[in-house]
Structure 1
Amino acid sequence: MPDPILLLGISGPSSSGKTTLSRLLRDAFPPNQLTILHLDDFYLTDAEIPVKNGIQDWDCIDSLNLPQLQQTLAYIKEHGRSPPDFVSKEDQNSVGEHGVGPDAVENAKVRIEKVVKEVSWKRRICVVDGFLLFSDDMKAVRELFDVRMFLRTSYATAKRRREARSGYVTLEGFWEDPPGYVDTIVWPNYVHDHKFLFVDEDVEKELDESVCRRIGLEGMPRDAEENMERCLEWAVGVLEKVIRGEGPKS
């Protein structure tokens, strides 16, 4: 009987580096040991996306096919792989420059290789990245994860990065944010869904350590904001502890 798959959730605001980190971690692990699933693959059809103030709202829970997401995660936990009929569209979307040099990537690979050999780690890892994995409205999904990493970024950075994107492949076409979308939809939704994680419910302040402990959340350190090399270093450190049996649900 193979070891059960480890389900790793990586969440945070739009443009905080979730997909970039997921792909860097995939590169750091031995071939085929880490796979990625994207929350964006579980949007409803374009016609079913809810409308808010005359604009489609792609950044809310009602835009997602939650039953399909839960069924897929349950299948992965049971079978150790994605359902055979599952096809990802997310890798068709571009990811900006991450600024991580080859030395940092190689260092991550060396660290992972060392700890994997130390404990003869055989478990495969499935990373799920998405903007809304850890909110209280997603509690049933949140509790499926063995490890939960939360990335953060400021409003100014999220706005700059999001508005620099060309758009997104959808189930039925292509979506481009209309002017002002970050201010009217993206950031207000993020604050609403994640303020409970922060001191004084202020998403620009520190994460509330007591809340993070209660829900088993690993929060990205402040010095990793806008520094993907540092973010990768932190994430590898979290996984080193998990692999050694020192982390949550290892």
Structure 2
Amino acid sequence: MADKAVIVGISGPSSSGKTTLARLLQRIFNGAKSPSANLNTFIIHEDDFYFPDDKIPYTTTASGETIQDWDTAAAIDLPFLSQALQYVRKNGCLPPRLRSKEDQNDESDSGVPEETVQELRRMVQDRLSGSGSIAFLEGFLLFAPPQKDHVLRSVHDAIQLHVFLPAAYGLVKERREGRSGYVTVGSAPVQEGERAEPEENKEIDLEAEDDRPPQNFWVDPPGYVDDVVWPRYVRDHSWLLVGEDGQDVATGGDGDADLVRRAGDGTRVRTDIGVEVAPGAGSAGMEVVLRWAVDLVLQFYIDSRQ
């Protein structure tokens, strides 16, 4: 049976504009309705698949401090995410169990004029026909390297169009440290060694209502970007990032510190491995990125329906 929805994955480092781009694309494509076109669109936030607070793993920083690590795949309920994506492709809508907490977090100004949004909406409407669904999945850790046994393989393979937004280290640090915090799920963290381990290979009733615990609020501790966010990002994307020598950051890398050194500002990204990379190497404004993304998504959606 043909898929009822196209899933567009939008990934990149923290604070690279993923959520902003997803919201803009959702507005533009969802507004493209005419007698010949009826497109349903929605957003899936990877942050909505975090484990409850008491199941978030811990890490020890270079200074010897033990803190929770929200920037690792082990903090994400990957079976839940993978099964939800398969549900979306099959049914063309979000599963009832998925209730977003991410939309309760701060929403910043996109920087894109409303006139541009309306212009792009009209352009999409003129080119679309028929009905269907597009899901914009945004998250910091969505794509897998080529090896088949990678922990993110099932998530990567459920995404049909892979979009990556590079961002320089300095911009990530400035934006991330400027945020007030994040809505989370579950009870307050417990001491290391007392937390319950995440269930693996579990089947989730996606038709059930969301029964996850009440929400809390996480604020990054001092130094969290340099101790956790950036090293984790470089390590998990070392297969995609390119060093100043033109080689993959992972080539010859020995430990997170060496990978970070090789990555430099983190804006050089491979374009030959099935991932569409936004123009400007992280320096283009959101309007430039949005126009590029609209053309990319529109053409991919049209081709997928032929």
TM-score for both structures, normalised by structure 1: 0.90
Which residue of 1 is the match for residue 241 of structure 2?
198
Which residue of 2 is the match for residue 133 of structure 1?
142
- Distance in 2, Cα, partners of 1:68 & 1:155: 30
Q: Which moved more, 1:63-72 or 1:197-206?
A: 197-206
- Distance in 2, Cα, partners of 1:8 & 1:230: 18
Which residue of 2 is the match for residue 152 of structure 1?
166
The answer to whether the aligner puts 1:106 opposite 2:113 as a matched pair is no
Which residue of 1 is the match for residue 29 of structure 2?
29
Which residue of 1 is the match for residue 299 of structure 2?
241
Does the 8 Å CA contact 2:29/2:41 hold for their aligned counterparts? yes
Does the 8 Å CA contact 1:115/1:243 hold for their aligned counterparts? no
Which residue of 2 is the match for residue 4 of structure 1?
4
Corresponding letter in the other structure for 1:41: D
- Distance in 2, Cα, partners of 1:169 & 1:182: 18
- Distance in 1, Cα, partners of 2:26 & 2:42: 7
Residue 115 of structure 1 deviates from its aligned partner by 1.5
Mapping of residues 91-102 of structure 1, within 5 Å: 91-102=103-114
- Distance in 1, Cα, partners of 2:105 & 2:76: 18
Which residue of 2 is the match for residue 182 of structure 1?
225
The answer to whether the aligner puts 1:208 opposite 2:270 as a matched pair is yes
- Structure with the higher helix share, 1 or 2: 1
> Secondary structure of the equivalent of 2:276?
strand
Unpaired runs of 5+ residues, structure 1, are none
- Aligned CA RMSD, in angstroms, stands at 2.0
- Distance in 2, Cα, partners of 1:143 & 1:82: 18
Higher RCO, 1 or 2 (CA under 8 Å, sep at least 6)?
Answer: 1
Residue 151 of structure 1 deviates from its aligned partner by 0.6
CA 1:235–1:193: 2 relative to 1, 3 Å: same
Does the 8 Å CA contact 2:30/2:40 hold for their aligned counterparts? yes
- Distance in 2, Cα, partners of 1:204 & 1:249: 35
Q: Which has the larger radius of gyration?
A: 2
Unpaired runs of 5+ residues, structure 2, are 32-38, 61-65, 146-150, 187-215, 250-262
